[in-house]
Chain A
Amino acid sequence: METLDHKEVINLLLQLASILILARVFAEIARKFKQPAVIGEIFAGIILGPTILGNFFPGAHEYLFSSHEMTNIAFDGFVQISVVLLLFIAGLEVELHIVWSQGKKALYIAVASMILPIIAGFVVAYAFPEFLGVNINDRIVASTFFGLAISITGLAIVARILMDLNLFKTSSGLLIIAGAMIVDVLGWLIFSVILSLSESGSEGLGVWPTIGLTLLFTLVMLTVGKGLINKVLPWINKKMAWPGGLLSLSLAVCFLAASFTEFIGIHAIFGAFIIGVALGDSEYLTEKAKEILHQFINNIFAPIFFVSIGLKVNFITGFDPGIVGVVIIVGLVTKYYGAYFGGRLAGVSRKESIVAGFGMSTRGSMDIVLGLIALENGLVTEPLFIGLVILAIIASMSAGPLIGWARNLKI
């Protein structure tokens, strides 16, 4: 087995240290401005990456991120694990009983807030592929991918905003949370189908087998899988070290599910997400355990992923104001109106629908993962990806003040 040499180990450790330190510094700055940590972490990446460090201190940047190929491969492994864990925690956040308790209203809001951006995103990208930077050779898939990327809601971010505004437990708050949970589940289901479309011509399983397997995997995990979890978890809680046993085994199960979905041709992150949902929905996974998993992943692995975005892309050379403008306008307007009309259709009051519209517009997590996968698969170009990241930042920063404003509306 090949191993890293002395210099490569030092390089890898320095990479991780610089990423975690800068991510923390900027997360703290974001916190001072009452913004989500993820925004700070994205900025930390921009500073450490080719945009700032590479531009002004090319030597330092070269040493840190381009001097040892093996180190970069090892670091990529860290990033992959971070994405898988990020999706795992996103799955844990989905609580099916909250979704059921909100019922039709949440479903309408979620579905409408996805349909409108997906259609609008698809139409814009399909009509102007060269301007926007979607892969013209895979036009349908790339355009749908773009639509899907702007249709996602940032569940963890909106949860934080609602907590800060003291709205988390209110009917509007729970409606948005349940809506965001549905968006997450639907989003990843659609994602795996689109990805199979992209690969149908090559080594993938083909569209229908992938759709069938995706649905089967989801259903089996949420029924048989959950049943199994319910049998094993009480034993783990009772007989093993706590939370050590639970932490190591739940992560092991997450990696198993991720490798299984990757093996059958669906992306690894889908398996991590669904196992997260199954585990999170188990009555035996205590809230304390969820809290620990959250802290552990959100503060160690999430920063590594969000900083890595800035390392991959140059935000100055790749910046295209036209593309960014279109992405932001299409993204914000369609997501807001989708959720708003969905709410109105389901009989939600006008004011609550406006709040839901702003709440559902929050981004900054799964949409970036989606964008990055599209970038790495050659479906979108760097400027479009940058547009998606900037959309996430603007949407997350504006959601709090907009929700605060909307709830005081006298309508």
Chain B
Amino acid sequence: MGKIRLFNGLSFFKMYKKVALAIAFSPRMEALISETKRLVQLFGSDLILIHIGKKTDDLEVKLDEIITKTGLDKLKTKLIWKEGKPVKKIIEACKEENADLLVAGALKREGFLTYYMGSVGRKIIRKAPCSVLTLIEPNIGSTAFEKIVINGTQLEITRHVIEVGINFSKQLNAEQVHILNEIKMYGLQMGTASEDSEEEASQTRRQLVQNEMQYVEEILKNIDQGNLKLNIKVTGGRWSVELARFCEKIDADLLVVGDDYKLNFFDRIFPHDLEDLLSTLPCNLLIVKN
């Protein structure tokens, strides 16, 4: 991550040096570009616009108009036109350009990336070499990321996810950040604890909650939280489901989750947690990769 110096003398590590945006000439394209422009300005990053499809004069003119209209910095914006299979080509472009973040539009409960439809969008998210930000309702006036939820479930990638989530929240001036952690197999653990006395079972219950709180607190110790308002919440049940429910309940603007899992054939038959979340898409989603 590069370092940038802000005018007031504060310095931040640049979260993302190169942000890629997969575009299609859909009605939401302008909104997506506006949203990404704001992020690029906040992060001080370069922007790469990727379009998969035939490059025609008409489309070039149209894109140029939108770029001018949205006020993108042309010097810091690169256009890439590629022909071929969308997933493959977008991923190829991200790799060639060393993008750190890929932004893509997605339709809530309607497959993915309006343009690429269903499983293609999902493949992009899963196969992308960099983190992916999916925006479900991009708007020209830019979304306010006020309520951000971070997945704090104990996974190998969680420490990194929380760190990225906090930095992201700080840069976007989020009002409230919630970190959700799940007690794994709560039912089995408490069912087993029913062999104990009432007091011991309550103690086990308290301990289970306490352990999850401590796990997140331990990670937060080493992260500068700035002025963020942080809330740690512990749930029981599958984290993907609990996260989706919580995001819908509080009407969250962004959910930050990690992905260090390779997609395979069985995920189609027996979807795992992230797959579940992708099919629900409760709000905008930032998928952090290692």
B233-290 residues with Cβ-Cβ distance < 8 A to A are 236-238, 240-241, 266-267, 269-270, 272-273, 276
Which residues of B lie under 8 Å from residue A156 when comparing CB positions?
A: 188, 192
Q: Are the CB atoms of A294 and B190 closer together than 8 Å?
A: yes
A298 contacts B by Cβ under 8 Å: yes
Q: Are the CB atoms of B273 and A97 closer together than 8 Å?
A: yes
CA distance A282 to B134 in the complex (A): 26
Q: Are the CB atoms of B187 and A100 closer together than 8 Å?
A: no
Closest B residue to A285 by CB, please name it.
B187
Which residues of B lie under 8 Å from residue A93 when comparing CB positions?
A: 188
Which residues of A lie under 8 Å from residue B273 when comparing CB positions?
A: 97, 101
CA distance A93 to B187 in the complex (A): 8
Q: Are the CB atoms of A31 and B237 closer together than 8 Å?
A: no
Q: Are the CB atoms of B195 and A160 closer together than 8 Å?
A: yes
Closest B residue to A99 by CB, please name it.
B270
Interface string of B161-196 (1 = CB under 8 A from A): 000000000000000000000011111111111111
Q: Are the CB atoms of B237 and A168 closer together than 8 Å?
A: no
Q: Are the CB atoms of B270 and A159 closer together than 8 Å?
A: no
Q: Are the CB atoms of A287 and B236 closer together than 8 Å?
A: yes
Beyond A96-B270, A299-B194, whether A291 also contacts B276 by CB under 8 A is: no
Which residues of B lie under 8 Å from residue A287 when comparing CB positions?
A: 183, 185-187, 190, 236-237
Closest B residue to A38 by CB, please name it.
B195
A289 contacts B by Cβ under 8 Å: yes
Which residues of A lie under 8 Å from residue B187 when comparing CB positions?
A: 92, 287-291, 293-294
Per DSSP, chain A at the interface is: helix
Cross-chain pair count, CB within 8 angstroms: 84
Q: Are the CB atoms of B192 and A98 closer together than 8 Å?
A: no
CA distance A98 to B240 in the complex (A): 13
Which residue of A160, A169, A288 is within 8 Å of B192 (Cβ)?
A160
| Closest Cβ–Cβ distance, residue A218 to chain B (whole Å) | 12
Beyond A169-B211, A283-B241, A287-B237, whether A294 also contacts B269 by CB under 8 A is: no
Q: Are the CB atoms of B191 and A298 closer together than 8 Å?
A: yes
B70 contacts A by Cβ under 8 Å: no
Beyond A159-B192, A287-B237, A294-B192, whether A98 also contacts B184 by CB under 8 A is: yes
B139 contacts A by Cβ under 8 Å: no
CA distance A37 to B196 in the complex (A): 10
Per DSSP, chain B at the interface is: helix
Tell me the count of chain B residues lying within 8 A, CB to CB, of chain A: 29
| Closest Cβ–Cβ distance, residue A398 to chain B (whole Å) | 19
B154 contacts A by Cβ under 8 Å: yes
Which residues of B lie under 8 Å from residue A127 when comparing CB positions?
A: none
A222-265 residues with Cβ-Cβ distance < 8 A to B are 222-223
Which residue of A27, A100, A168 is within 8 Å of B272 (Cβ)?
A100
| Closest Cβ–Cβ distance, residue A170 to chain B (whole Å) | 10
CA distance A89 to B266 in the complex (A): 25
CA distance A177 to B184 in the complex (A): 11
A174 contacts B by Cβ under 8 Å: yes
Closest A residue to B242 by CB, please name it.
A283
Which residues of B lie under 8 Å from residue A89 when comparing CB positions?
A: 191
A145-172 residues with Cβ-Cβ distance < 8 A to B are 156, 159-160, 163, 168-169
Which residues of B lie under 8 Å from residue A27 when comparing CB positions?
A: 195
Q: Are the CB atoms of B195 and A36 closer together than 8 Å?
A: yes
Which residue of A31, A163, A288 is within 8 Å of B236 (Cβ)?
A288
Q: Are the CB atoms of A159 and B194 closer together than 8 Å?
A: no
| Closest Cβ–Cβ distance, residue A103 to chain B (whole Å) | 9
Beyond A100-B266, A283-B238, whether A177 also contacts B185 by CB under 8 A is: yes
A95 contacts B by Cβ under 8 Å: yes
Extra 6 A-B pairs, beta carbons < 8 Å, given A289-B187, A290-B186: A92-B187, A97-B238, A160-B195, A169-B154, A169-B211, A283-B238
Which residues of B pack against A, CB within 8 Å? 154, 183-196, 204, 211, 236-238, 240-241, 266-267, 269-270, 272-273, 276
Which residues of A pack against B, CB within 8 Å? 27, 31, 36-37, 89, 92-93, 95-98, 100-101, 156, 159-160, 163, 168-169, 174, 177, 222-223, 283, 286-291, 293-295, 298-299
Which 4 A-B residue pairs are closest in the complex by CB-CB distance?
A: A294-B191, A290-B187, A287-B236, A287-B186
